[in-house]
């Protein structure tokens, strides 16, 4: 009989599927060279703070040592930055790891996790990875005035049950680019019991300029069951280093720390994040550019007859009136990579990350 370890895997793991990267990017880079426009992964093409690059090159010779398992210097800097105790911060190998850890620590097959339709893909994956009962709350309709396909906080609140351990939300959300207001979030939090953790994923929060749609961090003192996740991957442009963090009640962090791998955040990521955090000027430059480029690209797409959803992120979602597969393939053949949305149940949409102006122009020129 042939050996198949899948039959040995536990029932929860057996039904999971490995991450599908969509394309083999290293091969495509070799094929297209400079002419490849990678607009599929919501990266920040302006690049990281020069101070982060210097900090990393200074630390290179020290990499024979293990990193600080507490990331003490970075935690102190984050604590000062957010005016919060260090004991309320946990660091992750990307915020992705923290989203997974939250489910691992708090949910199980006897309990449920609520997440939004068209919400970030990791929410249902984190739920399935621990065998918890996933409850998907319907999104707002596609013709909604301010947040088409966005989170419906009423539907989410109504979906929460007594056995719900976690609710995941993203503000703004990937892949829709939509956002909700501070007032909407407060109304939601007031409806959710403290026995449910509310996780607000703020991976793109720095890019927000919509009035009244700020960070949930200011609500942490009022709602001990609130957890806010942030990342250095987007506005700080350090996606390749894998570093993110969460802010929460100290007791939440205490639980996370029990399962967190001791050296999950590598040394270069720690020093780069510390330097990036101190470079407010670079962050401001990235955010300013991102806001104006998304406005420009949205207007250009709009003038070509495409429906572009309003976005507060570093990408835009284009909604077609037919399946988007042929458009994605058309662009791909011309060296422009965008993200198809079939996996999200949005097969008639494509997500386009902001590239450099030259790449964005190449995208526009490649459109049929
Ligand atoms: N949250 C959202 C909404 C995202 O879009 C992403 C990445 O694209 C992440 C979290 C994960 O980011 P990272 O693991 O790089 O911190």
Q: List, for residues 50-101, the tens digit of each pLDDT value.
A: 999 999 999 999 999 999 999 999 999 999 999 999 999 999 999 999 999 9
Residue 269: predicted pLDDT? 98
Residue linked to tokens 């449920």 = 112
Q: How far apart are CA 71 and CA 49, in angstroms?
A: 20
Q: How far apart are CA 129 and CA 151, in angstroms?
A: 23
Closest CA to 240 of 45, 65, 79, 67: 45
- In the predicted structure, residue 1 carries a pLDDT above the cut 80: no
More confident residue, 27 or 65: 65
Question: Residue ranges per domain, the chain?
Answer: 21-42+281-366, 50-278
Q: Which atom of ligand 1 is nearest to the CA of 204?
A: 3
- Mutate which of 41, 48, 120 for ligand 1? The one with the most ligand atoms within 8 Å of its CB, which is 120
**pLDDT tens digit sequence for 313-350:** 999 999 999 999 999 999 999 999 999 999 999 999 99
Residue linked to tokens 């959803």 = 309
DSSP 118-169: T--THHHHHHHHTT-EEEEEPPPPTT-SS-TT---HHHHHHH--TTEEEEEE
Distance between Cα 119 and ligand 1 center (Å): 12
Beta bridge partners of 228: 200, 247
Mean pLDDT of 214-241: 98
**pLDDT tens digit sequence for 234-254:** 999 999 999 999 999 999 999
Cα angle: 337, vertex 31, 40; to 5 degrees: 15
For the chain, give the percent of residues with pLDDT over 90: 94
- Under 8 Å between Cβ of 321 and 348: yes
Q: Which atom of ligand 1 is nearest to the CA of 41?
A: 8
Host H or E run for residue 112: strand 112-116
- Under 8 Å between Cβ of 273 and 236: yes
Residue 363: predicted pLDDT? 97
Which residue's CA is the closest to the ligand 1 atom numbered 5? 174
Q: How far apart are CA 67 and CA 263, in angstroms?
A: 6
Whether ligand 1 lies within 6 angstroms of the CB of 120 is answered as: yes
Residue 71: predicted pLDDT? 98
Residue 35: predicted pLDDT? 86
Whether ligand 1 lies within 6 angstroms of the CB of 290 is answered as: no
- Under 8 Å between Cβ of 149 and 140: yes
Burial 156-184 (b: 16+ CB within 10 A, else e): bbebbeeebbbbbbbbbbbbbbbbbbbeb
Select from 3.40.640.10, 3.40.190.10, 3.30.70.1400, 3.30.1120.10 the CATH code of 50-278.
3.40.640.10
- Mutate which of 94, 172, 276 for ligand 1? The one with the most ligand atoms within 8 Å of its CB, which is 94
Whether ligand 1 lies within 6 angstroms of the CB of 203 is answered as: yes
- Under 8 Å between Cβ of 129 and 14: no
Structure tokens at 344: 């999200």
- In the predicted structure, residue 19 carries a pLDDT above the cut 90: no
Residue 87: predicted pLDDT? 98
- In the predicted structure, residue 128 carries a pLDDT above the cut 80: yes
CA atoms within 13 A on the CB side of 366: 21
For the ranges 31-35, 104-108, 224-228, 287-291, the lowest mean pLDDT is seen at 31-35
Beta bridge partners of 350: 318, 340
Whether ligand 1 lies within 6 angstroms of the CB of 201 is answered as: yes
In terms of Cβ atoms closer than 10 Å to its own Cβ (0-12, 13-18, 19+), residue 32 is middle
Residue 295: predicted pLDDT? 98
Whether ligand 1 lies within 6 angstroms of the CB of 49 is answered as: no
3 state DSSP class of 200? strand
- Mutate which of 115, 233, 238, 313 for ligand 1? The one with the most ligand atoms within 8 Å of its CB, which is 233
Distance between Cα 231 and ligand 1 center (Å): 7
Residue 207: predicted pLDDT? 98
Whether ligand 1 lies within 6 angstroms of the CB of 366 is answered as: no
- In the predicted structure, residue 22 carries a pLDDT above the cut 90: no
Distance between Cα 204 and ligand 1 center (Å): 8
Could you tell me which CATH class the domain 21-42+281-366 is placed in? alpha beta
Q: How far apart are CA 36 and CA 358, in angstroms?
A: 11
Whether ligand 1 lies within 6 angstroms of the CB of 121 is answered as: no
Host H or E run for residue 89: strand 89-92
Closest CA to 144 of 159, 155, 158: 155
- In the predicted structure, residue 30 carries a pLDDT above the cut 80: yes
- Mutate which of 39, 116, 208, 234 for ligand 1? The one with the most ligand atoms within 8 Å of its CB, which is 234
Whether ligand 1 lies within 6 angstroms of the CB of 341 is answered as: no
pLDDT classification of 366: cutoffs 50, 70, 90: very high
Whether ligand 1 lies within 6 angstroms of the CB of 38 is answered as: no
- In the predicted structure, residue 47 carries a pLDDT above the cut 80: yes
- In the predicted structure, residue 176 carries a pLDDT above the cut 80: yes
19 Cβ partners below 8 Å, 6+ apart?
Answer: none
**pLDDT tens digit sequence for 280-302:** 999 999 999 999 999 999 999 99
On average, the pLDDT of the chain sits at 97
């Amino acid at each position: 009989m042939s050996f198949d370890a899948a039959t040995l895997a536990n029932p929860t793991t057996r039904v999971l599927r490995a991450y599908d990267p969509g394309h083999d990017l290293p091969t495509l880079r070799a094929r297209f060279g400079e002419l490849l426009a990678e607009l599929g992964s919501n990266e920040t093409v302006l690049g990281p703070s020069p101070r982060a690059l210097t900090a990393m090159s200074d630390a290179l010779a020290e990499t024979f040592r293990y990193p600080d398992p507490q990331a003490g210097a970075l935690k102190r800097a984050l604590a000062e930055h957010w005016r919060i105790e260090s004991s309320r911060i946990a660091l992750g190998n990307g915020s992705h790891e923290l989203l997974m850890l939250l489910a691992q620590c708090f949910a199980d097959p006897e309990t449920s996790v609520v997440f939004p339709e068209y919400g970030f893909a990791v929410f249902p994956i984190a739920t399935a990875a621990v065998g918890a009962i996933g409850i998907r709350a319907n999104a707002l309709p596609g013709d909604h005035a301010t947040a088409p396909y966005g989170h419906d906080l009423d539907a989410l609140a109504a979906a929460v049950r007594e056995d719900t351990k976690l609710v995941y939300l993203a503000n703004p959300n990937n892949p829709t680019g939509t956002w909700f207001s501070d007032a909407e979030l407060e109304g939601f939090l007031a409806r959710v019991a403290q026995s449910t953790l509310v996780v607000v994923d703020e991976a793109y929060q720095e890019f927000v300029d919509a009035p009244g749609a700020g960070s949930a961090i200011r609500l942490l003192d009022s709602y001990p069951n609130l957890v806010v996740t942030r990342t250095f991957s987007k506005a700080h442009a350090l996606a390749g280093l894998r570093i993110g963090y969460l802010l929460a009640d100290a007791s939440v962090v205490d639980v996370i720390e029990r399962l967190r791998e001791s050296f999950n955040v590598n040394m270069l990521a720690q020093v780069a994040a510390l330097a990036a955090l101190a470079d407010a000027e670079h962050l401001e430059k990235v955010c300013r550019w991102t806001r104006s480029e998304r406005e420009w690209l949205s207007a250009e797409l709009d003038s070509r007859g495409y429906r572009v959803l309003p976005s507060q992120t570093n990408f835009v979602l284009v909604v077609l009136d037919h399946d988007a597969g042929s458009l994605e393939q058309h662009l791909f053949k011309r060296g422009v990579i965008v993200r198809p949305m079939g996996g999200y149940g949005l097969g008639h949409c494509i997500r386009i990350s902001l590239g450099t102006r030259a790449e964005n122009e190449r995208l526009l020129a490649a459109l049929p």
